[in-house]
Chains A and B, each alone.
Chain A
Amino acid sequence: EPEVTQTPSHQVTQMGQEVILRCVPISNHLYFYWYRQILGQKVEFLVSFYNNEISEKSEIFDDQFSVERPDGSNFTLKIRSTKLEDSAMYFCASSELEGWLTEAFFGQGTRLTVV
C-alpha cells in the first residue's frame, strides 16, 4: 500500500539553527501538507502546497518557515532559525487532486526537539 514517508524520524537541533524536514508523498498525489502537533496539544495545519506553490497557510507558518519541492518526489519543510517552541511532531500529508472530498494521508512524523 502506498504511503507517505518522512525522514528523519527524530531530529535534535540547537536553538537558532536551521532544520530541514523531508517527506516523500504518495506518488500520484498532487496536494501536499505540513501539520504539527506540540506535545499534549492538537494537530495543527501549517501549509498546503500545490502546483509548486503554497495554496494555503496558517498564521503559524510565518517567515521562519518555507516549503519546497526540490525534485519530483521530495517535499521539504525548512525552519530557518529554530526556537524552543518549534519542538513538536511534524507530519507531512498528501492527497489526490480530484474531488474536494478526499482524505489526506499522513506520514509517521518527524519529532523535532529544539534544545
Chain B
Amino acid sequence: DQQVKQNSPSLSVQEGRISILNCDYTNSMFDYFLWYKKYPAEGPTFLISISSIKDKNEDGRFTVFLNKSAKHLSLHIVPSQPGDSAVYFCAAKVPATGRRALTFGSGTRLQVQP
C-alpha cells in the first residue's frame, strides 16, 4: 500500500545547482504535506510543509510545490550545498479527520557534489 511514493531512490547534483525531489500520492484525502530530511543515525528533521489550499510554500533555499490535480509535490533546493546531502522523505496526513499519523514515502537520497 504505497499511498506516498518517491520514485527516485537517489539523486546527485552539483553544489550551487538546483535539487528537485519529487513525490506522488494516491490518497486524495491527504490535505497536508511535509518534507523531512534524515542524516544517518539521526531521526527525521522537519524541513518544510504545505497545506492543500496552497500551491507553493517557500522557506529560504527550500520551496515546496503542490499540484493537487496531479497528486504531485516537489521540493526544490536552491542553491544546493554539500550539507544538504541526506535522505529526504515526503510525508502526508489527513488533518481534517483528526488523524495525526504521517504516511511517509520511501525517501530519496540526495548527494550534493562539491
Contact = CB atoms under 8 A, between A and B. Distances in A.
Contacts of A44: 104
A48 B103 CA distance: 13
Classify chain A's interface size. Answer: 20 to 34
Contacts of A31: 100
Interface in B29-62: 32, 34, 36, 41-46, 49, 51
A48 B43 contact: no
Contact of B49 (A41, A101, A107): A101
Contacts of A103: 34, 46, 49
A81 interface: no
A59 to B, nearest CB: 10
Contacts of A108: 41-43
A64 interface: no
Contacts of B43: 4, 6, 91, 93, 106-109
Interface residues of B, number: 25
Interface string A32-46: 010100000111110
Nearest to A95: B100
Contacts of B96: 100
Interface in A83-115: 91, 93, 95, 100-101, 103-109
A109 B42 contact: yes
B57 to A, nearest CB: 11
Could you say which of A35, A55, A103, A108 has the most chain B C-beta atoms within 10 Å of its C-beta?
A: A103
Given A45-B102, A101-B49, 6 more contacts: A4-B43, A42-B107, A43-B89, A58-B101, A95-B100, A104-B100
Interface of B: 32, 34, 36, 41-46, 49, 51, 89, 91, 95-96, 98-107
Interface of A: 4, 6, 31, 33, 35, 41-45, 48, 55-56, 58, 91, 93, 95, 100-101, 103-109
